[in-house]
Amino acid sequence: MTRSPLAPPAFPALAAIQGVTPRVAKARYKAWDRCDLTYVEMDEGTIVAGVTTQSKCPSPEVEWCRDALPLGRARALVVNAGNSNAFTGSRGRAAVEAIAARVARHLDCQPSDVFVSSTGVIGVPLPIDKAEAGLDAAFGAEPCTWEQAAETIMTTDTFAKGASAQAIVGGTAVNIVGIIKGSGMIAPDMATMLGYVFTDAAIDPALLQQLMSAANRRTFSCITVDSDTSTSDTVLAFATGRAGNPVLSQMDDPGADAFAAALEDVCRELAHLVVRDGEGASKFITIAVTGAEDDASAHRVALSIANSPLVKTAIAGEDANWGRIVMAVGKAGEPAERDLLSIRFGATQVAAGGYALEGYDEAPVAEHLKGKEIDIGVDLGLGNGRATVWTCDLTHGYISINADYRS
């Protein structure tokens, strides 16, 4: 598959996380000769937090993670690529239980300490025999790099995705790394496909959950590729505590704010990478809405613009059709006043007060739209609410990829 034109030049250098060992193996869920099972082993004492899809048709893997997350403990992560195991009834649940049981026996831990995700085609039960054989191969495999782990969880992705940050907590440096997969079926509530964050920080599970949920609201829940929310979306954060910092238990603790900022930085970078690999994408679009009645209203207006096929195809065609943005604002169902609305492309304001700006020169806008980084600003003129979301354009490539997805 052709690498996205919005991809970074290379996979970043990610630090090893004390107490975390990733491995990959070939379970051969599809007719391909590549690793498609990721197994990450974590030291005893590792804690976990996470967020999952809001889909009313979640996969059994999502339900398994939801049940295990309140316990706050983790020893392993298993990610299967090529088969989402969603909409597979009792057979799908049996596959998840078999995976967790096999890992639990290997590590002498509880099955609830094993987190499982799967991604790929919906409606096909995950073959237990292939999963177990893949796990046995992974148990004996050499540790792999973060890049290899990121490559193994891919499906329609065109490049492996990773990000990292560091924070000083109580005078101790702690590391955070993350990998993610996703390029289609990406829309908020939440919108990641599958993402995993690992840190050596010592932190209370309740605080990690608080920070992960907050970071999600400002990152993964602010991206959209195609307005479709997956049955499998999952983001998990694991903390081994091996850095040796004083345990973070509340936001007043020294370094808690730095850790929170670093965690959000990693999540934002991962979210952006998903959009940059949007199926068929050729342009990365930032949509900033200001002047709304409140932040929640601004968020909904921004998503209305970002999810509009007419807006996205206009950007793909490098057409400064600001009327389509007016349309998207108007249909959002949020407070808006036509004669207070202002719109800009890049640094050029194009409309205000219910009209195209007098003397508006389309040339700089056309030049801006020729680039790969597109910036759209909308001010509603009603209040102090603001929000930023990220999306990509809609091209013929999206249709081609999804028309052939099951082949």
d(CA 351, CA 322): 8
190 falls in which pLDDT band (50, 70, 90)? low
Structure tokens at 304: 């209305």
407 falls in which pLDDT band (50, 70, 90)? very low
1, pLDDT greater than 80: no
Crossing angle, helix 89-107 and helix 60-68, to 10 degrees?
50
Fold of 284-403: Ubiquitin-like (UB roll) (3.10.20)
Q: Is 402 annotated as a binding residue?
A: yes
Average pLDDT over residues 174-192: 73
402 falls in which pLDDT band (50, 70, 90)? low
242 within 8 A of 150, measured Cβ to Cβ: no
Provide the mean pLDDT of the chain: 92
How far is the first Cα of the chain from the last one, in angstroms, to the nearest whole number?
A: 14
192, pLDDT greater than 60: no
pLDDT score of 95: 97
- Reference 79, options 4, 143, 141, 155; nearest CA is 155
Residue type, 215: A
24 falls in which pLDDT band (50, 70, 90)? very high
Range name among 59-68, 87-96, 130-139, 218-227 with the lowest pLDDT average: 218-227
pLDDT score of 228: 58
**Which residue would you say has higher pLDDT here, 186 or 211?**
211
Class of residue 9 by CB neighbours under 10 A (exposed 0-12, middle 13-18, buried 19+): exposed
Average pLDDT over residues 282-300: 97
d(CA 214, CA 186): 19
pLDDT score of 184: 52
Predicted confidence (pLDDT) per residue in 340-356, tens digit: 999 999 999 999 988 88
Question: Does 20-276 match 284-403 in CATH topology?
Answer: no
213, pLDDT greater than 70: yes
Of 52, 88, 192, 395, the catalytic one is 192
Predicted confidence (pLDDT) per residue in 147-169, tens digit: 999 999 998 899 999 999 999 99
Predicted confidence (pLDDT) per residue in 351-401, tens digit: 998 888 988 888 999 999 999 999 999 999 999 999 999 999 988 876 776
**Which residue would you say has higher pLDDT here, 41 or 358?**
41
Residue type, 261: A
Class of residue 2 by CB neighbours under 10 A (exposed 0-12, middle 13-18, buried 19+): exposed
d(CA 235, CA 72): 14
Predicted confidence (pLDDT) per residue in 225-241, tens digit: 766 556 668 899 999 99
Q: Is 283 annotated as a binding residue?
A: no
117 within 8 A of 74, measured Cβ to Cβ: no
Considering the four listed CATH numbers 3.60.70.12, 3.60.20.10, 2.40.290.10, 3.30.70.1400, the one that applies to the domain covering 20-276 is 3.60.70.12
- Reference 227, options 162, 318, 310; nearest CA is 310
19 within 8 A of 200, measured Cβ to Cβ: yes
* C-alpha separations of 287 from 11, 71, 195, 201, 353 in Å: 26, 38, 23, 34, 20
- pTM of this prediction exceeds 0.75: yes
Residue type, 117: S
Is-catalytic flag, 224? no
pLDDT score of 231: 66
Predicted confidence (pLDDT) per residue in 62-99, tens digit: 999 999 999 999 999 999 999 989 888 999 999 999 99
d(CA 327, CA 176): 41
Residues linked to residue 78 through DSSP beta bridges, in sequence order: 39, 116
Interior/surface letters 305-338, b for 16+ CB within 10 angstroms, e for the rest: bbbbeebbbbbbebebebebbbbbbeebebebee
pLDDT score of 225: 78
Boundaries of every domain in the chain: 20-276, 284-403
Q: List, in sequence order, the alpha helices (H) in 165-308.
A: 205-218, 256-276, 295-306
pLDDT score of 358: 86
- Calculate the CA dihedral of residues 257, 261, 262, 267 and round it to 10 degrees: 140
| 20-25/37-42 β-pairing | antiparallel
Q: Is 407 annotated as a binding residue?
A: yes
Q: What percent of the chain has pLDDT over 70?
A: 93
- Reference 82, options 156, 138, 148, 136; nearest CA is 156
d(CA 391, CA 55): 20
The DSSP result for 126-193, as a single string, is PPHHHHHHHHHHHHTSPP--HHHHHHHT-SS-SS-EEEEEEEEETTEEEEEEEEEE-SSS--SSS--S
**Which residue would you say has higher pLDDT here, 247 or 192?**
247
Residue type, 27: A
pLDDT score of 87: 86
